[in-house]
């Protein structure tokens, strides 16, 4: 479900015609629907209403302050993986006691920042990290709230780059290591063991791998309980997929129901870390056709956005639907939709059937709200593009386009040159 629709053959975001925004901001730009973001968050939250829970939106999927503030206003917390994401979360006004800190490579300065900020918990991924958190907490004379991330060795059946719960992945602790780490942590005065967590991958389109992981975690909790260790928070991570093309992932309500059934009676506060399912289909990338070109046996549509703006097609071979912003009853072509970057890997779609287009036409790259802007870069010294949010019949620039000056801010030429 989303709020991008056609009216008289013109694409609207909620009540605003997309060409009107393009006119004002220039292209390319990311465009988010406030109504879709809000709806997705509320639907997800509702799926868990039978049990105490906290929805910690995964900041890596979309880290714009306005987006984070919106979820905060709806009662959400955050899943962060860096000091930078913590800074954003706090700037957006998210209460630190609703923030969980995941990631295999937390640095000392990031741990100290999080301890001083008073986050809800660290999802710890190794014994060495646990020791470092213990030392940092002792120095600050604090008790660090921790949860251990276990790797349940479940195959999520997703792209290998985004599966994280197999024992061959770098994430989490094996069950045996986790038991050992819980015992060790239990005896440390500056660690407060409050949770257990797992995250098995992203863009999952079946519910079963989540349930397998949950069963593993439940078994582990039983083992821990038997040796006198108990936890309050059960963090099941994120990972629920969306429809980019033909996928039919479970609805959040089905996902929630299956999890609550598998969980059974429990006294836990459940934490979920959804990213993509909340923001993915709430955003599009609007780009303009620069040129069309025919090489031998191949059509190219060259647009003004590129792999530096949306890297998912180049990096994962990911599919994003491409729609014309103005529908016109012309014919169709089959073409590669490519950007201006000097690499053959710079494409947004390959061999794609799209309506015939002319230079100047606008195209919408759909489902670009998750891992779109957040993975963008300045490659080829291309300024990063604006992010715009529509609410009703108004639109707001929630991040301005970078300037050429922004590109060199922070650089300096040493005197010897
Ligand atoms: N929690 C943890 C610990 C994670 O590592 C992730 C994603 C999430 C939550 C959120 O997962 P989601 O609900 O969005 O699936 N760049 C890739 C996706 C990488 C996901 C990494 N971890 C992409 O564009 O598909």
Same domain, residue pair 25 and 77: no
User: 330 C-alpha vs ligand 1 centroid, how far in Å?
Assistant: 39
What is the reported pLDDT for 165? 58
User: 234 C-alpha vs ligand 1 centroid, how far in Å?
Assistant: 18
User: 173 C-alpha vs ligand 1 centroid, how far in Å?
Assistant: 18
224, 242, 276 — which closes off a domain?
276
Q: How many domains does the chain have?
A: 2
Within 10 angstroms of residue 175's Cβ, the number of other Cβ atoms is: 18
**Residue 342 known to be catalytic:** yes
User: 58 C-alpha vs ligand 1 centroid, how far in Å?
Assistant: 7
Does any ligand 1 atom lie closer than 6 A to the CB of residue 273? yes
- For the chain, the average pLDDT equals 95
In total, the chain counts a number of residues equal to 417
Residue 167 in this model has a pLDDT that exceeds 70: no
Of 297 and 16, the one with more pLDDT? 16
Same domain, residue pair 265 and 285: no
Q: Which helix (H) or strand (E) holds 391?
A: strand 387-391
Nearest atom in ligand 1 to 203's CA = 15
CA pair distance 241, 371, nearest whole angstrom: 13
Nearest atom in ligand 1 to 239's CA = 15
| Contact yes or no for 89/59 (Cβ under 8 A) | yes
Query: Is residue 414, in this structure, part of any structural domain at all?
Result: no
Mean pLDDT throughout 178-183? 95
276, 296, 316 — which closes off a domain?
276
Report the percent of the chain where pLDDT is more than 90.
Answer: 90
> Nearest residue CA, atom 7 of ligand 1?
202
Same domain, residue pair 161 and 266: yes
- What pTM did the predictor assign? 0.96
Residue 288 CA, distance from chain mean position = 26
What is the reported pLDDT for 162? 56
Backbone angles phi, psi at 276, to 5 degrees: -55, -45
| Contact yes or no for 273/79 (Cβ under 8 A) | yes
Residue 18 in this model has a pLDDT that exceeds 60: yes
What is the reported pLDDT for 154? 82
Q: Which helix (H) or strand (E) holds 183?
A: helix 175-186
Nearest atom in ligand 1 to 311's CA = 24
| Contact yes or no for 365/322 (Cβ under 8 A) | yes
Same domain, residue pair 8 and 44: no
253, 276, 299 — which closes off a domain?
276
Does any ligand 1 atom lie closer than 6 A to the CB of residue 40? no
Q: Nearest-5° angle of CA 56, CA 58, CA 59?
A: 115
Does any ligand 1 atom lie closer than 6 A to the CB of residue 197? no
CA pair distance 14, 33, nearest whole angstrom: 7
Q: Give the model's confidence band at 153: pLDDT under 50 very low, under 70 low, under 90 confident, else very high.
A: confident
CA pair distance 256, 280, nearest whole angstrom: 19
Same domain, residue pair 165 and 239: yes
Q: Which of 58, 162, 250 to mutate to test the pocket of ligand 1 (most atoms within 8 A of CB)?
A: 58
- CA atoms lying within 13 Å on the CB side of residue 401: 15
Which residue out of 10, 13, 198, 342 is catalytically annotated? Answer: 342
What is the reported pLDDT for 213? 95
Which pLDDT tens digit goes with each residue over 28-66? 999 999 999 999 999 999 999 989 999 999 999 999 999
Domain that holds residue 321: 4-32+280-407
Same domain, residue pair 262 and 368: no
Same domain, residue pair 272 and 325: no
Mean pLDDT throughout 14-25? 98
Same domain, residue pair 28 and 174: no
Same domain, residue pair 75 and 205: yes
Residue 161 in this model has a pLDDT that exceeds 60: no
Which pLDDT tens digit goes with each residue over 76-129? 999 999 999 999 999 999 999 999 999 999 999 999 999 999 999 999 999 999
Of 361 and 169, the one with more pLDDT? 361
> Nearest residue CA, atom 5 of ligand 1?
199
Does any ligand 1 atom lie closer than 6 A to the CB of residue 237? yes
Nearest atom in ligand 1 to 103's CA = 3
What is the reported pLDDT for 329? 80
Q: Which helix (H) or strand (E) holds 258?
A: helix 252-263
What is the reported pLDDT for 297? 81
Kindly report the CATH number assigned to the domain that includes residue 76: 3.20.20.10
What is the reported pLDDT for 158? 64
| Contact yes or no for 191/146 (Cβ under 8 A) | yes
Q: Give the model's confidence band at 268: pLDDT under 50 very low, under 70 low, under 90 confident, else very high.
A: very high
Residue 390 in this model has a pLDDT that exceeds 60: yes
* 268 DSSP assignment: P
Bond before 69 cis per omega within 30 degrees: no
CA pair distance 23, 187, nearest whole angstrom: 62
Same domain, residue pair 103 and 79: yes
User: 20 C-alpha vs ligand 1 centroid, how far in Å?
Assistant: 33
Same domain, residue pair 365 and 305: yes
Same domain, residue pair 226 and 122: yes
Query: Is residue 319, in this structure, part of any structural domain at all?
Result: yes
Residue (of 293, 195, 190, 277) closest to 240 by Cα position: 277
């Amino acid at each position: 479900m989303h709020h991008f629709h056609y009216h008289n053959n013109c694409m609207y975001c909620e009540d605003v015609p997309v060409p009107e925004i393009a006119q004002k901001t220039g292209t390319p730009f990311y465009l988010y629907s406030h109504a879709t973001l809000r709806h997705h968050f509320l639907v997800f939250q509702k799926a868990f209403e039978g049990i105490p829970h906290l929805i910690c939106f995964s900041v890596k999927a979309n880290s714009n302050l306005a987006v984070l503030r919106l979820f905060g206003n709806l009662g959400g917390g955050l899943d962060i993986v860096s000091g930078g994401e913590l800074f954003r979360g706090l700037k957006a006004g998210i209460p630190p006691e609703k923030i969980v800190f995941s990631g295999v490579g937390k640095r000392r300065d990031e741990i100290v920042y999080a301890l001083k900020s008073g986050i809800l918990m660290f999802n710890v991924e190794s014994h060495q990290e646990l020791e470092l958190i213990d030392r940092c907490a002792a120095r600050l004379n604090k008790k660090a709230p921790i949860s251990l991330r276990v790797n349940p060795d479940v195959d999520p059946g997703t792209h290998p780059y985004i599966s994280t719960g197999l024992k061959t992945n770098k994430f989490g602790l094996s069950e045996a290591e986790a038991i050992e780490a819980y015992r060790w942590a239990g005896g440390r005065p500056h660690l407060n063991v409050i949770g257990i967590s797992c995250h098995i991958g992203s863009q999952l389109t079946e519910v079963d791998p989540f349930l397998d992981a949950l069963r593993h975690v439940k078994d582990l909790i039983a083992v821990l309980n038997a040796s006198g260790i108990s936890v309050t928070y059960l963090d099941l991570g994120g990972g629920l997929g969306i429809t980019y093309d033909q996928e039919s992932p479970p609805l959040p309500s089905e996902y929630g129901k299956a999890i609550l059934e598998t969980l059974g009676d429990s006294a836990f506060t459940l934490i979920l870390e959804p990213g993509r399912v909340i923001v993915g289909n709430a955003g599009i990338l609007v780009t303009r056709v620069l040129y069309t070109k025919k090489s031998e046996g191949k059509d190219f549509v060259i647009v003004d956005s590129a792999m530096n703006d949306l890297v998912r097609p180049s990096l994962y071979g990911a599919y994003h639907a491409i729609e014309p912003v103005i529908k016109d009853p012309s014919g169709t072509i089959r073409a590669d939709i490519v950007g201006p970057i000097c690499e053959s890997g710079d494409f947004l779609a390959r061999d794609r059937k799209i309506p015939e287009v002319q230079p100047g036409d606008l195209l919408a790259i759909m489902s670009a709200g998750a891992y779109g802007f957040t993975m963008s870069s300045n490659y080829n010294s291309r300024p990063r593009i604006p992010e715009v949010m529509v609410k009703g019949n108004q639109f707001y620039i929630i991040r301005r386009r970078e300037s050429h000056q922004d590109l060199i801010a922070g650089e300096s030429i040493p005197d010897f040159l």
